[in-house]
Structure 1
Amino acid sequence: MPIKLKGLIYKSVIRPVLAYGSETWAVTKRHVNSIHVAEMKMLRWMCGVTRLDKIRNEYVRGSLSVRDIADKLQENRLRWFGHVKRRPPEYIGNRTLNLNIPGRRKRGRPKLRWLSVVKNDMAGCELEEEDVQDRAKWKRKSRKADPVARRDRR
């Protein structure tokens, strides 16, 4: 089977299974690292190389035409955030995003929250919360993983 076809199968079958439900994860570096390791094991297995062959990850990804799964996770989170923010304000998702719970937090470092992960993603893509209403701009700036090749428009 050609290597490019293996990459297409990976992107359409395996990666969605790895990223299932990732829209709502408060992803830490540890989570991303474990998913990255699992992904690279699969990609290397598909290419027929091992770590002992000392072939860099970038080369394996390039031969399969696959971007990093962290980019896809970020894209999924931003896509879901856009869907929720475009809904009416009385939608349960919007009400929970703006929910403030009274009381004090526990001592120590605060737990990582989904909204703070999304805010970091938005800063990385140079997006503002007001950009949500402009679907074309939101999609153009938030798509990082496997961007679709643009056709020449005449």
Structure 2
Amino acid sequence: MAETLEELGEMLTDLNDASKQVGLKMNMDKTKVMSNEHVSSLPVTVGGVTIEVVDQYPYLGQVIRLGKSNFDKEVARRIQLGWAAFGKLRHIFTENIPQCLKTNVFNQCVLPVMTYGAETWCFTKGLIHKLRVAQRAMERAMLGVSLRDRIRNEEIRRRTKVTDIAKRISTLKWQWAGHVARRADDRWSRKVLEWRPRVGKRRVGRPPTRWSDDLRKVAGSRWMQMAGDRLGWRSLGEAYVQQWTTEG
């Protein structure tokens, strides 16, 4: 990460040189450059190779984007991967429902795929709704029912006994937020929470949802200090999870 493309080029060149000294080689095909709107577009060259400039790219299994609605594509991708995992296990879900419910296959094999990286998402009602719609469709497929059967969601959930996806991702995010806030080292995860950019003017209209907005709604503006009290933070977490399981 750098403030200018020139600085970024120098950092990558240094990394490339240091890698060669220990017998390693950078994969230029997998190395990408992404910048925000405040940076002028200039080519970044490392070892005679011009690095590709992209609007998004997968990093550690998650699609990284900048700007508004930057998690929409990642959520859509998570839903798609969830259906792929569900499809591989469809014969278990449809042919042996009692055993499937007893071993909680859905919670162990499908839900983790759909919620991977959820700790970093900016939650909105629309995002939660998309995930819940996909989960309910999978639950109906497990039971062999359709919307035309007019069975209430509460009854379907009682039969499948799967964990509400809104509850799972809100729990994960709250736990991760507390973990990061309590860190006393100099890692990036803590730095980005305290970073306050001052470049350019704010766009006209409603500002995009920030990662900590829903945390502040429950714990207040001093939520990072409050996270130091583990018991108090755990208690507030119940209200945070309730916020998304009822309103989402």
TM-score range, shorter chain: 0.7 to 0.9
1:27 to 96, 118, 123: 123
Looking at structure 2, the residues matched to 18 and 136 of structure 1 have their Cα atoms a distance apart, in angstroms, of: 29
2:111 to 3, 9, 15: 15
Q: Assess if the C-alpha contact under 8 Å between 1:77 and 1:118 holds in 2.
A: no
Q: Deviations over 1:106-146 (max 9, x none)?
A: 111101111113323x35xxxx544422334434553659x
Q: Assess if the C-alpha contact under 8 Å between 1:26 and 1:113 holds in 2.
A: yes
Q: Deviations over 1:1-39 (max 9, x none)?
A: 306326x11111111111111110112222111111110
Looking at structure 2, the residues matched to 138 and 35 of structure 1 have their Cα atoms a distance apart, in angstroms, of: 26
Looking at structure 1, the residues matched to 188 and 160 of structure 2 have their Cα atoms a distance apart, in angstroms, of: 41
Aligned pairs for 1:4-153 within 5 A: 4-5=101-102, 8-88=104-184, 90-103=186-199, 104-120=201-217, 122-123=218-219, 129-139=224-234, 141-142=236-237
Q: Secondary structure at the match of 1:133?
A: coil
The structure whose residues are more often strand, as a share, is 2
The structure whose residues are more often helix, as a share, is 1
Q: Considering only aligned residues, what root-mean-square deviation do their CA atoms show, in Å?
A: 2.4
Q: Assess if the C-alpha contact under 8 Å between 1:85 and 1:132 holds in 2.
A: yes
TM-score (normalised: structure 1): 0.78
Looking at structure 1, the residues matched to 212 and 226 of structure 2 have their Cα atoms a distance apart, in angstroms, of: 16
Letter in 1 for 2:204: R
The aligned length equals 140
Q: Which blocks of at least 5 consecutive residues in structure 2 are unaligned?
A: 1-95, 243-248
Larger radius of gyration between Structure 1 and Structure 2? 2
Identity of aligned residues (%): 32
Partner of 1:150: none
Q: Which blocks of at least 5 consecutive residues in structure 1 are unaligned?
A: 146-154
**Structure 1 segments of 4+ aligned residues over 6 angstroms from their partners:** none
Looking at structure 1, the residues matched to 229 and 158 of structure 2 have their Cα atoms a distance apart, in angstroms, of: 32
Looking at structure 2, the residues matched to 130 and 62 of structure 1 have their Cα atoms a distance apart, in angstroms, of: 39
Note closer, same or farther for the CA distance 1:64–1:141 as it changes in structure 2 (3 Å cut). Answer: farther
